[in-house]
Amino acid sequence: MFIIAAGVLGAILGSFLNALLFRYNTGRSVAAGRSRCMSCGHTLAPLDLVPVLSYAVLLGKCRYCQSHISVQYPLVEALSALLAVALYVRNPEPLHFFLSLFVWMVLLFVLVYDLRHKIIPWSAMGLAILGAGALLVLDREFTSEALTAGVALAAPLLLLSAVSRGTWMGWADGVLEFGLGLLLGLSAGASALVMAFWIGAVVGITLLILPRGYTMKSEVPFAPFLILGAALSYFLHVDFLQTLPALFF
């Protein structure tokens, strides 16, 4: 029951994230009025807003004007539900669960927003860093080593930003990596950063091969790769610095 409740809570939060993603920095408040169809402007009924299920029942189309609904809606809601379940299984202690859920919801917001707009909101990064710091305090691990991990992992990205004046790597990516370093620690965080570059390289090469007009000068957001690498390390316990020595000794 608690796992199901976690999934439902995650899906509801995913619905809220969608509203925030479409309204953030547009002058529209998330709390401003009922949700409306973005094509015809019709006010949506409660049955139109059930996470994931409404999209499936309506076959991805608005009930009133038959325009296509962005696939972002069910994807974000489903991912939020999966994140909530995974976090509950990892640590069901209530305070730890809600704090970690807050952090990962913020990271999911950053991932999708960067994909859509190729920019990372500084306010979201601040929330992620505060949440990661709160988790360290809760686990009694807020030490100089934890801060060192954040600084050490952010330093290479900030150096790339400084050398290229923000053209190779955005400044916000380095700040995001500081928060991920606090969340993961040095060993797991380094593994996550390596995986982020590997995934980014594979995606970048694939985009160059596909006939979509991508070139070496095309801008590709890096925050999604950082967050995906962090998720692999956090949930699947990928840690090269611990597993590789065990393979040889």
145 class by beta-carbon count within 10 Å (0-12 exposed, 13-18 middle, 19+ buried): exposed
| Cβ contact 120:176 at 8 Å | yes
What's the pLDDT score for residue 170?
85
215 residue type, one letter: T
**Residue tagged 């995913």 (tokens):** 14
pLDDT lower than 70: segments of the chain:
27-33, 213, 216, 243-249
What's the pLDDT score for residue 96?
93
Instruction: Give the contacts of 155 (CB within 8 A, at least 6 positions apart).
Output: 174
220: enclosing H helix or E strand? none
Q: In Å, how far are 94, 177, 228, 231 from 152, measured between CA atoms? A: 31, 9, 19, 19
What's the pLDDT score for residue 28?
67
| Cβ contact 193:174 at 8 Å | no
What's the pLDDT score for residue 205?
87
Residue ranges in the chain assigned as alpha helix (H) = 2-23, 53-57, 72-90, 94-117, 122-138, 144-164, 171-184, 186-209, 223-236, 240-248
Instruction: Give the contacts of 93 (CB within 8 A, at least 6 positions apart).
Output: none
What's the pLDDT score for residue 248?
44
- State pTM to two decimals: 0.90
Q: Structure tokens of 47?
A: 């049955």
What's the pLDDT score for residue 30?
63
Q: What is the pLDDT of residues 28-58, one digit of tens each?
A: 666 566 777 777 877 888 888 888 998 898 8
Per-residue DSSP letter, 70: P
Q: Structure tokens of 185?
A: 């620690």
